[in-house]
Structure 1
Amino acid sequence: MKKVIAIVAAFVVVIGAVVGIGMSKKSAEKTSTVIKIGGVFDTSGDASAYGEAEQKGANFAVKRINAAGGIKVNGKTYTIEMVNKDSKSDNTEAASVTTSLISNNKVNAIVGPVTTAATQAAVPAATKGQTPMMSPTAGADSITVQKNGKVQPYIFRAQFKNSYLGTKMAQFADEQVKAKDVVIFQDNSSDYGTGITSAFKKAYKGHVVDTASYQAGDTDFQAMLTKIKNQKFDAIVINGYYTEAGAILKQARDMGINVPVIGPDGLGDPKLAEIAGNQNASNVYYAAHFSTQAPATDAATPFVTAYKKAYGEDPSQFTALAYDAVYMIKQAIEDEKSVDKAKITTGLAHIKNFDGVTGKMTMDAFHNPKKSIVMVGETDGKDTTATVVK
């Protein structure tokens, strides 16, 4: 009899332990204090310079937030876990890893993708998964707008849209460079290049002498440059990315074309000078969201100091944009007092007077941040001047 009682008692203890473990797991799931942010960054392929910088910026933001005590919501303290995936500078891969982050990693929000085309490819996955997605650097106006003209509910950006970029570049060409005549080179294979060109032409008060179109991956621009060499123009505008822009710059300087070169944020990477040669990367001006020489808010200088201490180098504008993207997600969570994806989406849509390191930002009705722009001047491949264009 005693043996039976002992067996029953042991059985009850085991069952109790199993039930307790099950309840403990359910309780842990309900009270999880980790917020997952997915990162879709091109850390390999043609856009890797941007992707690596943005991943570093996002990771640094998470590190600083967690070190400062995390995010406090309704009496709970949450830490952030950054789940990064390489989209390999491939649009199909960007869509795939976005789906994976939502379905497999159960992220609360996403930072990325890096480029316009990759972001466009990832929009359906983010929308289907009802997950807020903040691209640090996708510039096409259409990114945040549906075909019916309504806002994309889950898509946001930290950078200004291309039409704004082109408009401000034209203003800089008119007022600062005082260029009466310009030649435009545009990347015809992307909405980025053509969109900025379109906006520039609408806003520019001078005369566009010629518009030369090229494709991503082109390396020989001799024929285009020979065609324009003997024409009268005060500046060259290159609307594209640093890979081709660097080659155009080198070949232009080698031919004795030494007029100022103006470009968008796609030229704002040290690899531009590596490709063109430092000696050729002078009298070059590129649009930026951030410059260590012209702090946009009180948050900028402490960020630069901390980043330089951690990595031994100044942060790039792409690093700063991804950093701001993470902090805007934090702001949205705190404003809505919730880690629920729908609430984070609402919070991002209502961001107002956010003191980011790239400027004071307010989201407009189409999820574009309103902020000033900085035109950075290069001499011998180094950033030497910064002019705020409002």
Structure 2
Amino acid sequence: MRVSIPAGLFLGLLTASAAQATEVKLGIAAPITGPNAAIGAQFKNGASQAAEDISKAGTIKGVTFSVAVGDDASDPKQGVSVANKFASDGVKMVVGDNSSGVSIPASDVYLDAGIIQVTPSSTNVKFTERGMWNTFRTCGRDDQQGAVAGTYLADHFKGKKIAFVHDKTPYGKGLADETLKALKAKGGKDVMYEGINPGEKDYSALVSKLKSANVDVVYYGGYYTEAGLILRQMRDQGLKAPMMGGDGMVDRELVSIAGPAAEGTLTTFPPDARKNPNAKEAVAAFKAKGIDPEGYTLYSYAAVQVLAKAMAETGSSYGKKLADWLHQGKPVDTVVGKISYDKKGDITQPAYIMYEWKKGADGKIDYADHELTQYGVGH
């Protein structure tokens, strides 16, 4: 069931005085529980801190944010339930969801309800390719991320045996397919293409197949949970081939699951926003709370900044008005740098960088820039 909100329930022009601020409901849709809860925490931390900072600063005259958090648990049905609840509760704008398999069906509900949606991490091409006015991202797309990964594989593993494994989700399969497409365009090929069932604990049958094929590198489309298990089981069976994957693998939980096997893993991800000069104050605010704003934390923060800028410029909280303003492509200053949008809701300067997970001086494995200038795009 989809719940629609009559236009009259939208705030429209925000004319309240600063002394009596109007509250605008901001929804955060994220996997607070389930296999990707670590990414859900990044979303919640980032968007909540942004809402708090923007409200305190009085960025939008006479307006403060009230935040509602919905747990989609990385499940499409639950994501749609969250969307319906947000719509019935009068939420005006949403930061989320994480996985494309949740964001895409949830966006249909938000469209019916007149709610604008900005995802920090859903990269499936379909999310912004359906001609809908309400879908935006602060990240790039699978075809952009796949181009960086596919080019790297073609250059560094020329003539080598490359296996592709994915988790059958719109995100994981979409990213694996786009990477394979880019590899083939550069004259490369795969020796194996396999789908796994996420949520399982034993991937030894897959690892045996990889070993039998004598693969030199495994490209994995999916999230850190399964990637970590596969990596660990590869090393347990004596398979030393490195793994490469995308942004869904970029969380320190990968190391918690894989252990030493995580070392040498390659992942594509947008530029590390913690190093952006625009993020200095926000990073300090997070660290004061004992939070490291890794991964998508600052991209979630930026999503709220994008919405706040559109509200300030239009004097409205009406989703379509905000979207129309953003579609004009005017740049918005955010903690991840300037963001501007095309007519689809995609950022005009996508950037993906290749990172390598390395052991630091403290003995801990973490991701670091790897061949930044050659394989970064955009910015």
CA distance in 1, matches of 2:350, 2:161: 27
Aligned length: 348
| Distance 1:173-1:183 versus aligned 2 partners, 3 A rule | closer
| Distance 1:170-1:61 versus aligned 2 partners, 3 A rule | same
Matched-pair contact (CA < 8 Å) for 1:36–1:80: yes
187-196 or 334-343, larger mean C-alpha shift: 334-343
Aligned partner letter, 1:329: L
Aligned to 2:200: 218
Matched-pair contact (CA < 8 Å) for 2:46–2:300: yes
Aligned to 1:158: 138
Following superposition, the deviation at residue 179 of structure 1 comes to: 5.0
Following superposition, the deviation at residue 136 of structure 1 comes to: 1.7
* Pairing 1:346–2:331 present: no
Paired residues for 1:104-119 under 5 Å: 104=89, 106-119=90-103
| Distance 1:377-1:88 versus aligned 2 partners, 3 A rule | same
Aligned to 1:299: 278
Aligned partner letter, 1:247: L
Aligned-partner SS, 2:47: helix
The correspondence for 1:37, drawn from 6, 26, 42, is 26
| Distance 1:356-1:170 versus aligned 2 partners, 3 A rule | farther
* Pairing 1:122–2:103 present: no
* Pairing 1:264–2:265 present: no
| Distance 1:188-1:245 versus aligned 2 partners, 3 A rule | closer
Greater RCO structure (CA 8 Å; 6+ sep)? 2
Deviations 1:281-310 (A, max 9, x none): 1001111124267x3x43134432332222
CA distance in 1, matches of 2:353, 2:285: 22
Q: Give me the TM-score of the superposition, normalised by structure 2.
A: 0.84
* Pairing 1:99–2:84 present: yes
Paired residues for 1:238-257 under 5 Å: 238-257=220-239
Paired residues for 1:171-250 under 5 Å: 171-175=151-155, 177-204=156-183, 205=186, 206-229=188-211, 231=213, 233-250=215-232
Paired residues for 1:287-326 under 5 Å: 287-291=268-272, 295=275, 297-310=276-289, 312-326=290-304
Aligned-partner SS, 2:344: coil
Matched-pair contact (CA < 8 Å) for 2:224–2:248: yes
Query: Sequence identity of aligned pairs in percent?
Result: 26
Aligned partner letter, 2:355: V
Aligned-partner SS, 1:71: coil
Q: Give me the TM-score of the superposition, normalised by structure 1.
A: 0.82
Matched-pair contact (CA < 8 Å) for 1:290–1:317: no
366-375 or 355-364, larger mean C-alpha shift: 355-364
The correspondence for 1:281, drawn from 246, 262, 268, is 262
| Distance 1:70-1:30 versus aligned 2 partners, 3 A rule | closer
120-129 or 283-292, larger mean C-alpha shift: 283-292
Aligned to 1:141: 125
CA distance in 2, matches of 1:183, 1:38: 41
CA distance in 2, matches of 1:354, 1:234: 43
Aligned partner letter, 2:25: K
Deviations 1:86-123 (A, max 9, x none): 2233322211221221222x122111122111112212
CA distance in 2, matches of 1:232, 1:214: 19
Matched-pair contact (CA < 8 Å) for 1:292–1:304: no
Aligned to 1:363: 341
Aligned-partner SS, 1:364: coil
Q: Which blocks of at least 5 consecutive residues in structure 2 are unaligned?
A: 1-13
RMSD of aligned Cα (Å): 2.3
Aligned-partner SS, 1:299: helix
| Distance 1:303-1:376 versus aligned 2 partners, 3 A rule | farther
CA distance in 1, matches of 2:319, 2:368: 41
Aligned to 2:67: 82
Matched-pair contact (CA < 8 Å) for 2:166–2:221: yes
Matched-pair contact (CA < 8 Å) for 2:118–2:135: yes
> Could you say which structure has the larger radius of gyration?
1
Aligned-partner SS, 1:220: coil
Following superposition, the deviation at residue 78 of structure 1 comes to: 1.4
224-233 or 111-120, larger mean C-alpha shift: 224-233
The correspondence for 1:63, drawn from 52, 55, 68, is 52
Following superposition, the deviation at residue 129 of structure 1 comes to: 0.6
* Pairing 1:168–2:151 present: no
Aligned partner letter, 2:241: V
Aligned-partner SS, 2:86: helix
Aligned partner letter, 2:369: A
CA distance in 1, matches of 2:272, 2:336: 8
Matched-pair contact (CA < 8 Å) for 1:333–1:347: no
Aligned-partner SS, 1:181: coil
Aligned to 2:310: 332
Aligned partner letter, 1:255: Q
| Distance 1:305-1:259 versus aligned 2 partners, 3 A rule | farther
Matched-pair contact (CA < 8 Å) for 1:184–1:239: no
Aligned to 1:8: none
Aligned-partner SS, 1:89: coil
| Distance 1:81-1:180 versus aligned 2 partners, 3 A rule | farther
Deviations 1:42-63 (A, max 9, x none): 2112222211220111001112
Following superposition, the deviation at residue 232 of structure 1 comes to: 5.1
Aligned partner letter, 1:284: T
Matched-pair contact (CA < 8 Å) for 1:359–1:371: no
